[in-house]
Structure 1
Amino acid sequence: MGSPATLACCTALVLVLLSSASKDGQDMGQHEVTFDIDEIMQEMIQPGRIVLQKQSELPHPDPKRFLGPRVLTPRGGRPSFRPRSPGGIPWMEYPVEFPLGRPTSDNIHAICINGDHRPRYPDSYFPTSGYGKLKRMASSVNKLENLFSSCCGSNHTWGTEVTLCCAFKAWGFAIHSYCEEDSSIKDLQSECCKQRGSDRLNCFHNEATNPNYTATQELPVPQIPSTEDFDFSPLDCSWTITSKYVVRGARGYSIHIKPPEKDFNFPPGRPSADNIESLCRDQKLRPLYKVNCLPNSGYELIARQAKTINRVEKGFKQCCKKKQGVLDCADQKWREELNRFCNKNGKQVDFECCLDNVEDRKYTCLKTLSPDPYYNLTSTAKELSLHNICDTHKIIKKKFPVGFPLNGFVKECCPLSEEEEKALCFVQELDSVSRLCSPGKAYPPSLRHCCSIDSHEQLECISKILVNAITKATKASSEKKKKRCPLF
């Protein structure tokens, strides 16, 4: 590429020639004169060789060759974010779809469903050196798309309103992060970053190349992981999305995503011949929920889900006591309560499966969406192993004594945080108990059977005694369980 001085000289020559052609128009007839940008850019390596051609002599140009849709701004103005370089036009060679537009109720659906059909920019996209500003733009897009993915991933629990709030705050967070980085580097700062508050956000949105978040990639693109700290809680969404929003200072800007508990299994699995046994057997192990622990705003959908789980479990309890027709009864209770969940004051609840008016499809959707369709996650999570002694040792000591001390298990093993360390500790404590079976020692009556078998089977025998006591203690505690908060 030629230097800026050369480019200016060539431009001046073009203007002079055009002016001359205009003045002589009455003598020779007016011709539309233009020039081939591609040829000029190539020929500028040899100064002075600019060839003017008539429109009829030019080949049909490909507009995407120079200025694709990702380069022009929606309003046709000069792009504020296109870095200028004396050596060329890098944004033509390595276009970046930056900035992204403001999330709104009109585009939040497209943000979520088209997420993997919008561009990402891996390190291999750019040369190893140079292009610093473009790389910062690309990195900002990658990070924000990653945050959008996190927001959209919880949509079936939150609903559209909270998902939109999450995406909006992620967008504001990404803009501020970009501007902070942009201002820390000795480079031409973008015009939008020079503004503050809602003016800055509006400026970025106005420069967005794809404000509707339409899909621009034919094939799905891989997500690029981000280490960006982004915390969000629906509690931060008591404000109106359309209100003015001022980005806080970077150091103090903190949002936290707090999903429901891991065993908050909504929607509950549909009763079937494959799960009715575990559905009734483990009902006492499944939690119930209270909702007065939740904040007043931002958690309405979770509260509605928790109430539905409670009502479904109440219906299951009645059905499981029956001697006949247990499955039909449970399925009817499930359908009744899920229909009730989907219908609020005669309107459909903003939950993906509820939007289908055909009942069979709605039930199929709910069944497919259930995180625990066979009702076995709770029993797996509560798998009766030695680890449960940490929660049940007091009940065991009071109601189901094992005949030997448990202090070693509780004091030595329970404080350990690493599961592997805790498991090893339990084995060591079992070994200590098995030493009571050593010849010449008076072992407790409860160990009579274990001490009478081969030594290599004694650990397993003692372990079974403990697990049996843990089983009884767990069932006893679940019978008196209190409702717990779905979040805390």
Structure 2
Amino acid sequence: MFLQATERRNIDPPVQLEPYFPPAKPSLENLNAVCVHGSGRPRYPASCLPFSGYGYIRCAGTAVNRVEAWFSQCCQRGVAQGDQQIAKQAWETALSHFCIEEHGTMTLVHECCEKKGEERWNCFEKQAPNPSYQPLSGYAAPIIPPDRIFTWDPNTSDGRNIDPPVQLEPYFPPAKPSLENLNAVCVHGNGRPRYPASCLPSSGYGYIRRAGIAVNRVEAWFSQCCQRGVAQGDQQVLCCAKQAWETALSHFCIEEHGTMTLVHECCEKKGEERWNCFEKQAPNPSYQPLSGYTAPVITPDRIFTWDPNNCK
């Protein structure tokens, strides 16, 4: 429960979290207030957030700090020249990181984080308590440097964020290779996200790291399968890709079972049940690329060897 001030409005940032989270989606209607009143909306210094427990409060307060710092960056004339698209990218990035951190806890996650794509953004937008981005009377925000760097990509005019860590959810688990998606598996490989170690959390959020590494492995191994000198003909390439897919997810499950946390539900299953589970949960079954993205080359940390004698 948040404290309520009975005689005057309390301007202590932790008390004022509820009226300011989630932040509203930037639009042409509120963009001026986003920029003009930024220093009048609350921030949440680490000293004001609970040291233990109340993980949601810390995650939400940190998300507000990030988005406000990034809005300030957006509002500098010459960066986006008044265009709200950069602010939308900052907003989506901040809330995506919030959801990643929510999913990294052992508690119930924010209901909007259970959704994906536009459904997620619409959910946050509907719940925003301050859609017009009005300031808090009598409050002057402290300067809190964001703990993450935000870089605007002007090539994504729809505001879609292409930061790989943020884009993990739409690409894990990878879909089962089939004759229907095999061409896309091979042709669009360098357009699907990879997750360099520098972009993954250094501590905590073990699931995020394991899933990102699994994607890196399977994409590298797909590239190996798609080289015609390795496998000849679609059937052999498909066999190789399926083996790569199963091997990557098998390693993922081994690593999941090596933790002290709840494992991915598909890893609780075995054999065809496991593969069917991952296949049903795959958010990108057609292996489409991410517009405007070019994947870095990441050498897999494990060697994959295709066994042509084990093709079904």
* TM-score normalised per structure 2: 0.50
Q: Would the alpha carbon gap of residues 160 and 130 (structure 1) be closer, same or farther in structure 2, given more than 3 Å must change?
A: same
The match for 1:221 is 295
Structure 1 residue 208 corresponds to structure 2 residue 267: no
The match for 1:113 is 187
Q: Give the superposed CA RMSD.
A: 4.3
Q: How many Å separate the matches in 2 of 1:155 and 1:64?
A: 44
> Which letter maps to 1:231?
T
Deviation (angstroms), 1:112: 0.3
- SS at structure 2 position matched to 1:38: coil
Structure 1 residue 198 corresponds to structure 2 residue 272: yes
Deviates more, 1:113-122 or 1:222-231: 222-231
> Which letter maps to 1:83?
G
Q: How many Å separate the matches in 1 of 2:189 and 2:42?
A: 37
Kindly indicate whether the alpha-carbon contact (under 8 Å) linking 1:155 and 1:163 is maintained by their aligned counterparts in 2: no
Deviation (angstroms), 1:164: 0.6
Kindly indicate whether the alpha-carbon contact (under 8 Å) linking 2:195 and 2:212 is maintained by their aligned counterparts in 1: yes
- Aligned counterpart for 2:237 among listed residues 163, 180, 188: 163
Kindly indicate whether the alpha-carbon contact (under 8 Å) linking 1:119 and 1:217 is maintained by their aligned counterparts in 2: no
Q: Would the alpha carbon gap of residues 42 and 105 (structure 1) be closer, same or farther in structure 2, given more than 3 Å must change?
A: farther
Q: How many Å separate the matches in 2 of 1:181 and 1:131?
A: 13
Q: How many residues get paired?
A: 189
> Which letter maps to 2:104?
P
Q: How many Å separate the matches in 1 of 2:42 and 2:298?
A: 35
Q: How many Å separate the matches in 2 of 1:64 and 1:109?
A: 34
> Which letter maps to 1:164?
L
Kindly indicate whether the alpha-carbon contact (under 8 Å) linking 1:98 and 1:209 is maintained by their aligned counterparts in 2: yes
Q: How many Å separate the matches in 1 of 2:292 and 2:285?
A: 18
Q: Would the alpha carbon gap of residues 36 and 225 (structure 1) be closer, same or farther in structure 2, given more than 3 Å must change?
A: same
Kindly indicate whether the alpha-carbon contact (under 8 Å) linking 2:224 and 2:230 is maintained by their aligned counterparts in 1: no
Kindly indicate whether the alpha-carbon contact (under 8 Å) linking 1:103 and 1:167 is maintained by their aligned counterparts in 2: yes
Q: Would the alpha carbon gap of residues 157 and 167 (structure 1) be closer, same or farther in structure 2, given more than 3 Å must change?
A: closer
Deviation (angstroms), 1:139: 0.7
Q: How many Å separate the matches in 2 of 1:121 and 1:193?
A: 21
1:12-69 CA-to-partner distances (Å, cap 9, x unmatched) read xxxxxxxxxxxxxxxxxxxxxx98523799779598xxxxxxxxxxx9995994599x
Q: How many Å separate the matches in 2 of 1:147 and 1:109?
A: 15
Q: How many Å separate the matches in 2 of 1:131 and 1:220?
A: 25
* TM-score normalised per structure 1: 0.33
Q: Would the alpha carbon gap of residues 162 and 131 (structure 1) be closer, same or farther in structure 2, given more than 3 Å must change?
A: same
Q: How many Å separate the matches in 2 of 1:110 and 1:162?
A: 16
- SS at structure 1 position matched to 2:23: helix
1:87-123 CA-to-partner distances (Å, cap 9, x unmatched) read 9989999431311111011100000011111101111
Q: Would the alpha carbon gap of residues 113 and 155 (structure 1) be closer, same or farther in structure 2, given more than 3 Å must change?
A: farther
Q: Which has the higher contact order (CA 8 A, sep 6+)?
A: 2
> Which letter maps to 1:187?
T
Kindly indicate whether the alpha-carbon contact (under 8 Å) linking 1:101 and 1:208 is maintained by their aligned counterparts in 2: yes
Unaligned runs of 5+ in 2: 5-18, 25-40, 51-56, 58-83, 115-119, 121-147, 149-164
1:119-164 CA-to-partner distances (Å, cap 9, x unmatched) read 0111110243332221111111111111101100126860111101
Larger radius of gyration: 1
1:316-370 CA-to-partner distances (Å, cap 9, x unmatched) read xxxxxxxxxxxxxxxxxxxxxxxxxxxxxxxxxxxxxxxxxxxxxxxxxxxxxxx
- SS at structure 1 position matched to 2:212: helix
Within a 5 Å distance, the mapping from 1:335-346 to structure 2 comes to none
- Aligned counterpart for 1:128 among listed residues 202, 205, 217: 202
Kindly indicate whether the alpha-carbon contact (under 8 Å) linking 1:111 and 1:213 is maintained by their aligned counterparts in 2: yes
Judging by fraction of residues, say which structure has more helix: 1
Q: How many Å separate the matches in 2 of 1:63 and 1:196?
A: 40
Within a 5 Å distance, the mapping from 1:84-483 to structure 2 comes to 84=105, 94-95=165-166, 96=168, 97-154=171-228, 158-237=232-311, 239=312
Q: How many Å separate the matches in 1 of 2:182 and 2:275?
A: 17
Q: How many Å separate the matches in 2 of 1:104 and 1:157?
A: 15
Q: Would the alpha carbon gap of residues 202 and 87 (structure 1) be closer, same or farther in structure 2, given more than 3 Å must change?
A: closer
Q: How many Å separate the matches in 2 of 1:218 and 1:210?
A: 17
The match for 1:83 is 104
- SS at structure 2 position matched to 1:162: helix
> Which letter maps to 1:109?
N
Kindly indicate whether the alpha-carbon contact (under 8 Å) linking 1:120 and 1:221 is maintained by their aligned counterparts in 2: yes
Q: How many Å separate the matches in 2 of 1:155 and 1:42?
A: 57
1:431-479 CA-to-partner distances (Å, cap 9, x unmatched) read xxxxxxxxxxxxxxxxxxxxxxxxxxxxxxxxxxxxxxxxxxxxxxxxx
> Which letter maps to 1:141?
V
> Which letter maps to 1:208?
A
% identical aligned pairs = 29
Q: How many Å separate the matches in 2 of 1:204 and 1:159?
A: 26
